Amino acid sequence: MTTTIESPELIEPEEPGGPDAHGPGGHGPEDHGPDHAHEHHGPTGILNWITSTDHKVIGKSYMITSLVLFFISGAMALVIRGQLADPTSSLVNFQTYNELFTMHGSLMLYLFAGPFAFGGLANYIVPLQVGAPDMAYPRLNALSYWLYLGGSSMMTFSFVVAGGAASFGWVAYAPLSNSINSPGAGTDMWLLSLGLTGFSAIFTGVNLVATIFYLRAPGMTMFRVPIFSWNMLVTGILILIAFPVLFGAVVMLFCDRHFGTHIYSVSGGGVPVLWQHLFWFFGHPEVYILALPYFGIVTDIIPAFSRKPLFGYRGMVFATLSIAALSTGVWAHHMFTTGVVLLPFFSLLSYLIAVPTGIKFFNWIGTMWGGQLSFQTPMLFSMGFLFAFLMGGVTGVLLASPPVDFMTHDTYFVVAHFHQVLIGTTVFAGFAGFYFWYPKMFGRMLNERLGKLHFWFLFVGFWVTFVPQYLVGLRGMPRRIADYLPTNGWTFLNEMSTVGAMIIGFSFLFFFVNLVTSWRNPVPAGDNPWDGGALEWFTSSPPPHHNFTHLPPIRSERPTWDYNHPEHRKDESHGDKRHREHEQKEPETVGAPS
């Protein structure tokens, strides 16, 4: 069924009165009476889900699927930590251990962290933030999800085929991943699932870019687009740069394995290190494909809970662009120890990324500075992100230095570093976003007390897990080993890390209880429970089929705030120079003696 969508109607702002005049969260279109013009009539039940092209249904499907994979992968991490808790542990055999760390990394990085952000949250939130009725290509969007589900299933179920799952680590270095060292259908399924999910990501990237370029509501200029959507635009472009390279690399590896080519094998004149070049040309932008959406989430949350506009909006946009551009030129800092890469070039560009990232931190702190801070669950998780990512980032600066990297490469120091970066972003900021937008998606609140318990257990468990890993790495423990000697002196630190991992696992019980409580005893959320400023808070919770029946005038990056707080409204709050000059002159004109 195809629906022709007309523009929403305009709601003019009313007289100053603030949110008190209209209830706690300001008001939205439901105050203007029901509007059934855009009601959706389609299939019902499971057919409704299978045939849906609504970005909100697809976004929720992405989120649920990726969260299920996150918990499966998290369970694998607990088994890995169980194995390492004791030097003589035989919880799993070595082959199973290799499969577990490979699949843990693969599920987390390829199937949870990215898809949760650009397939889940972005799919749901970006069209709402820019005032669009849907993504630009709804059927392509649905196809993205089905490719992702197919690829995810293929990778997850590769455990049950003969020979087991892939066991060469999530980076699949040649020649370990060739047909001699890694025979079996599990490895092939791993490679093919990357092909399917890679195309899924590319289609989502195309959709995000086209939606933000072409479907912005009237008045929603590029410099009024909320930072989360800006970051998703840049993420979409990074996806278009990175994923085709991964696809090409995977196809060539598959050809080496099955069709007699020798692209990565020395015996036939190939170059094994080429895999590393191709993989990391995808892999390092991928780190920022995973990070930028989560930066965007936090950048939308901090102003809402500081009751201030974002400090340095344009600085944030340019910092995001700089990070994206630099991230594409630093791939070989993962390859310092190969001895065949240009150390000063990659080291310098890697150091430079610290500058725009520092600008972001400065702006986040600047936004909170002098604000009316309230530490509700989304804000707490955002604070957790700031601390976790800062630690991960600082150790990243250390690793950008070749001499330090030579000493710590392939040790637990690196494992601790990237877990701090990735858990900081995908878990702390990801759940910040989930707690923040859950009321919008489902029209009901999550429990604050349970949310805060979730945060504190996660936060404590996170540090207890990963600080010992830095230390054990500095004492020389290599990554990807299933066993070590009691005389190595690594036992206590590993025990501590395992206790931390158990605390992290325990923290998610509060999350599950919270979800169940929210469904059994729903507390209605209203349209705008956090008094947010972006356009998604203007429509109902959950939004109607094509998102908006009415729109406010869009004169800043906070149109809903402007509408609900006309006494604070200021056109172009980050605005252009001419306008600011006009504002500065205005009092003089008014106060000039006649």
Partner 1 sequence: MRVNGSFLAVIGVFFAVIGIVYWFWSYEDAGFLMLMGSALLGILPGGYYLWWAKRMKPLEGDEPEATVADGAGVIDSFPGSSIWPFLLGLGAFFATMTFVFGLWLAPIAAALGLSAVIGAVVESRRGGTV
Report 152-191 residues binding partner 1 (CB under 8 A). Answer: 153-154, 185, 188-189
Q: Which is nearer to partner 1, 139 or 520 (CB)?
A: 139
Q: Residues 126, 297, 341, 504: which binds partner 1 (CB under 8 A)?
A: 341
Q: Which is nearer to partner 1, 48 or 95 (CB)?
A: 48
Contact present, 339 and 404 (Cβ < 8 Å): no
Q: Residues 80, 147, 472, 501: which binds partner 1 (CB under 8 A)?
A: 147
**Binding piece for partner 1, criterion CB under 8 A, among 24-32, 91-99, 132-140, 306-314:** 132-140
Contact call for residue 199 and partner 1 (CB under 8 A)? yes
Q: Which is nearer to partner 1, 53 or 382 (CB)?
A: 53
Q: What DSSP designation does 271 have?
A: -
Rounded least distance, CB 262 to partner 1, Å: 16
Q: Residues 99, 134, 405, 531: which binds partner 1 (CB under 8 A)?
A: 134
Rounded least distance, CB 49 to partner 1, Å: 9
Kindly tell me the burial class for residue 68, based on how many C-beta atoms sit within 10 Å of its own C-beta (0-12, 13-18, 19 or more). middle
Distance CA(571)–CA(360), nearest Å, equals 24
Q: First vs last Cα of the chain: how many Å apart? A: 66
Three-state SS for 417? helix
Cβ count near 323 (within 10 Å): 24
Q: Which ranges constitute the DSSP H helices of 259-312? A: 272-306
Nearest to 395 by CA among 466, 488, 491: 466
Q: Which is nearer to partner 1, 41 or 577 (CB)?
A: 41
Q: Which is nearer to partner 1, 89 or 153 (CB)?
A: 153
Q: Which is nearer to partner 1, 5 or 404 (CB)?
A: 5
Contact string 52-81 vs partner 1 (x = CB under 8 A): xxx---------------------------
Contact call for residue 456 and partner 1 (CB under 8 A)? no
Q: Which is nearer to partner 1, 134 or 527 (CB)?
A: 134
Rounded least distance, CB 408 to partner 1, Å: 24
Distance CA(278)–CA(261), nearest Å, equals 17
Rounded least distance, CB 205 to partner 1, Å: 11
Q: Which is nearer to partner 1, 278 or 423 (CB)?
A: 278
Q: Which is nearer to partner 1, 40 or 568 (CB)?
A: 40
Q: Which is nearer to partner 1, 36 or 41 (CB)?
A: 41
Give me the amino acid identity at 90: S
Distance CA(533)–CA(360), nearest Å, equals 20
By DSSP bridging, strand 9-10 and strand 550-551 are parallel
Q: Residues 142, 368, 446, 535: which binds partner 1 (CB under 8 A)?
A: 142
Contact present, 306 and 367 (Cβ < 8 Å): yes
Joined together, the tokens standing for residue 507 give 């923290």
Rounded least distance, CB 402 to partner 1, Å: 15
Q: Which is nearer to partner 1, 5 or 460 (CB)?
A: 5
Distance CA(204)–CA(212), nearest Å, equals 12
Q: Which is nearer to partner 1, 189 or 477 (CB)?
A: 189
**Binding piece for partner 1, criterion CB under 8 A, among 13-21, 59-67, 115-123, 543-551:** 543-551
Rounded least distance, CB 304 to partner 1, Å: 24
CA 346 to chain centre: 25
Contacts of partner 1 in 84-103 (CB under 8 A): none
**Binding piece for partner 1, criterion CB under 8 A, among 59-67, 104-112, 128-136, 582-590:** 128-136
Q: What DSSP designation does 260 have?
A: -
**Binding piece for partner 1, criterion CB under 8 A, among 47-55, 362-370, 464-472, 477-485:** 47-55
Give me the residue label for tokens 């094509």: 546
Contacts of partner 1 in 281-340 (CB under 8 A): 281, 321, 324-325, 328-329, 331-332
Total residues binding partner 1 (CB under 8 A): 81
Contacts of partner 1 in 221-280 (CB under 8 A): 221-223, 237, 240-241, 245, 254, 258, 274, 277-278
Give phi and psi for 411, each to the nearest 5: -110, 175
Q: Which is nearer to partner 1, 307 or 550 (CB)?
A: 550
Rounded least distance, CB 135 to partner 1, Å: 9
Rounded least distance, CB 579 to partner 1, Å: 9
Cβ count near 415 (within 10 Å): 21
SS3 labels along 216-246: CCCCCCHHHCCHHHHHHHHHHHHHHHHHHHH
Rounded least distance, CB 544 to partner 1, Å: 13
Contact string 7-26 vs partner 1 (x = CB under 8 A): xxxx----------------
Contact present, 123 and 134 (Cβ < 8 Å): no
Rounded least distance, CB 216 to partner 1, Å: 3
Helix (H) or strand (E) holding 133: none
Rounded least distance, CB 511 to partner 1, Å: 30
Joined together, the tokens standing for residue 415 give 């494992």
β-pair partners for 21: 23
Three-state SS for 10? strand
The C-alpha R_g of the chain, in whole angstroms, comes to 25
Distance CA(55)–CA(36), nearest Å, equals 19
Contact present, 99 and 165 (Cβ < 8 Å): yes
Rounded least distance, CB 79 to partner 1, Å: 26
Rounded least distance, CB 259 to partner 1, Å: 10
Q: Which is nearer to partner 1, 160 or 592 (CB)?
A: 160
**Binding piece for partner 1, criterion CB under 8 A, among 148-156, 360-368, 398-406, 488-496:** 148-156
Distance CA(292)–CA(325), nearest Å, equals 12
Q: What DSSP designation does 444 have?
A: B
Q: Which residues of 553-586 are buried (b: 16+ CB within 10 A; e: fewer)?
A: bbbbbbbbbbbbbeeebeebbbbeeeeeeeeeee
